[in-house]
A and B are shown apart, each in its own frame.
Chain A
């Protein structure tokens, strides 16, 4: 029997090596986006992507399609502008927790409320990675960061923001799910969710946001393997996985 390639770098990714730290699972999510668009037969000329400010700021180097890079937190607004001009293109933004849940919270909420026909991939790693490990809106209570060095204290620093839970209260959005990258089974579930989100966009059904729990071994100060265990044991209990809204 002839040998077949059953797993390879998807064609929507360029050949550029990811700049992410060892064990950071951003790269998995990049690959999933490229894989599902390939599986949905969305070719490179039919995708326009928006990179955020944060660790994924260079995402425009990795997707072989038209790309732009938005100001911090503004990707949903930029995506809105692009999608309204090109309703026939698949438009996605890729944003971290500082970008989406902090400085861009308003843009996120209102793109969802408008049920803008875009897909947002939201990376929750509980930290500002690119700037060196400051507290994010998703930093867990008790978690160390360079701006809450004794651990996040709700009295001093407030509570983490649950974006899926919050957006699911809105009438607008089509589909909101939280997934994780801490093991292969969950990566496959994440892939399924991302695929569904893009499928909904192709069907014109509107706004999807997939929150993906991602490891930041560097700023969590853990080995990559420990960081995945941390997601499983500490992050998921606080940010439960699942479908928060699906209008079908």
Chain B
């Protein structure tokens, strides 16, 4: 049996990245994700990787652009205000079809906001964020173990689909300590060759990675390809957890830290004989729309309740998918508050709003 170790979310993610083959990290300090760069500043050189504390978030994401162009598995991490600054780079990375992993330990906003958790970067993560037509592949871990597993897998997904993967965590996931089983160390020498990468054009035509094309046909073809890939991901890789939805009358929809609270609420309400379930998307871009849609079709399901740490962002996707078949209610907190179990139970029972 593999050893379980007690680790802080941010450090566990950093170690999982190294084990998943990450050999380049650039980032800028911002709370609540500082343990990721701190850990990697020591860890990456041990495995022959490169760590840079960059002069800015903008520079960090562009260093990732460079390292990814060069063929390395590369990662950056930040928290909300810093992720806003990375949007320019993410647009270029997406257009250049450059694989990389970006961690957002979301804090409450807008503006400088707070260092306490939030989920108000959902729109930014799943609707684009930067300029132009592109999508990120977005995961939302709910436990430290899941954050580890997702981080490890994200490098594979990024390489397989040549897409930037964003891990949408929150301050709680980053800061909490939980027991985790760490995955095996991968050897980057065993990774498939990236024929498109800038590695020095020995014995081949030169490779050019750019995001500029003044030819409308070609640029439209590039954009089409980005969205074809996104649809392949929707088909093959969307993930979710269906927790007691099949006989539920009320289905709570929540991700990340709120989904843990929701699961506790479901357990308590079930003990009271109340038919409540939880739908937890693990990927939110692409959204597990088929699975949620199937739940919306269940005759026993009377309503959905979307709970988020925002003024209502994921609720828009849920409403689009449910498409009027069932009522979709919303409950959100902001300012750094995390919804607690009693509060959520009260909302489910038609109390507090």
Direct contact between the two chains A and B in their complex (CB within 8 A): yes
B179 within 8 A of A: no
Q: Which of chain A's residues 89-132 have a Cβ closer than 8 Å to chain B?
A: 89, 106-107, 109-110, 114
Report how many residues on chain A are interfacial, defined by Cβ distance under 8 Å.
Answer: 35
B52 within 8 A of A: yes
Contact B66 A78 (CB under 8 A): yes
A79 vs B89: C-alpha distance in the bound complex, in angstroms? 14
B274 within 8 A of A: no
Q: Which residues of B contact A66 (CB under 8 A)?
A: 198-201, 206-208
A71 vs B96: C-alpha distance in the bound complex, in angstroms? 11
Q: Which residues of A contact B207 (CB under 8 A)?
A: 66-67
A174 within 8 A of B: no
A69 vs B92: C-alpha distance in the bound complex, in angstroms? 10
B239 within 8 A of A: no
Report how many residues on chain B are interfacial, defined by Cβ distance under 8 Å.
Answer: 40
Interface string of A16-28 (1 = CB under 8 A from B): 0000000000000
Q: Which residues of A contact B71 (CB under 8 A)?
A: 85
* 8 Å CB contact of A81 from B24, B200, B210: B24
Instruction: Please name the residue on chain A nearest to B209 by beta carbon.
Output: A68
B165 within 8 A of A: no
Identify which of B55-63, B167-175, B248-256, B342-350 touches chain A: B55-63
B64 within 8 A of A: yes
A93 vs B85: C-alpha distance in the bound complex, in angstroms? 23
A28 vs B56: C-alpha distance in the bound complex, in angstroms? 34
Q: Which residues of A contact B23 (CB under 8 A)?
A: 85
Q: Which residues of B contact A60 (CB under 8 A)?
A: 208, 210
Contact A82 B200 (CB under 8 A): no
Instruction: Please name the residue on chain A nearest to B96 by beta carbon.
Output: A68
For the complex formed, measure the closest distance between the CB of A248 and the CB atoms of chain B, giving whole angstroms: 26
Contact A82 B67 (CB under 8 A): yes
Contact A81 B208 (CB under 8 A): no
For the complex formed, measure the closest distance between the CB of A77 and the CB atoms of chain B, giving whole angstroms: 4
With known contacts A46-B200, A85-B50, A77–B59 Cβ distance under 8 A: yes
Instruction: Please name the residue on chain A nearest to B211 by beta carbon.
Output: A69
B136 within 8 A of A: no
Instruction: Please name the residue on chain B nearest to A64 by beta carbon.
Output: B206
Instruction: Please name the residue on chain A nearest to B69 by beta carbon.
Output: A68
A50 vs B210: C-alpha distance in the bound complex, in angstroms? 10
Contact B62 A81 (CB under 8 A): yes
Contact A74 B70 (CB under 8 A): no
A109 vs B55: C-alpha distance in the bound complex, in angstroms? 9
Task: Please indicate which of the listed interface residues B56, B66, B96 has the most CB atoms of chain A within 10 Å of its own CB.
Answer: B66
A222 within 8 A of B: no
Q: Which residues of A contact B201 (CB under 8 A)?
A: 44-45, 64-66
* 8 Å CB contact of B210 from A69, A80, A82: A69
A193 within 8 A of B: no
Interface string of A72-88 (1 = CB under 8 A from B): 00100111111111100
Contact B198 A81 (CB under 8 A): no
Contact A81 B55 (CB under 8 A): no
Can you show 19 pairs from A to B with CB atoms below 8 A apart? A45-B202, A47-B200, A57-B212, A66-B200, A69-B210, A70-B92, A71-B89, A71-B92, A77-B58, A77-B66, A78-B62, A78-B63, A85-B24, A85-B70, A86-B200, A106-B55, A107-B55, A110-B55, A114-B52
Other A-B pairs, 20, CB within 8 Å; known A68-B65, A78-B65, A81-B24 = A45-B201, A46-B200, A60-B210, A63-B206, A64-B201, A68-B198, A71-B65, A74-B89, A77-B66, A78-B62, A80-B52, A80-B63, A81-B26, A81-B62, A81-B67, A81-B68, A84-B63, A85-B67, A85-B70, A106-B55
Residues of B within 8 A of A (CB): 23-24, 26, 50, 52, 54-56, 58-60, 62-72, 74, 88-89, 92, 96, 198-203, 206-212
Residues of A within 8 A of B (CB): 44-48, 50-51, 57, 60, 63-71, 74, 77-86, 89, 106-107, 109-110, 114
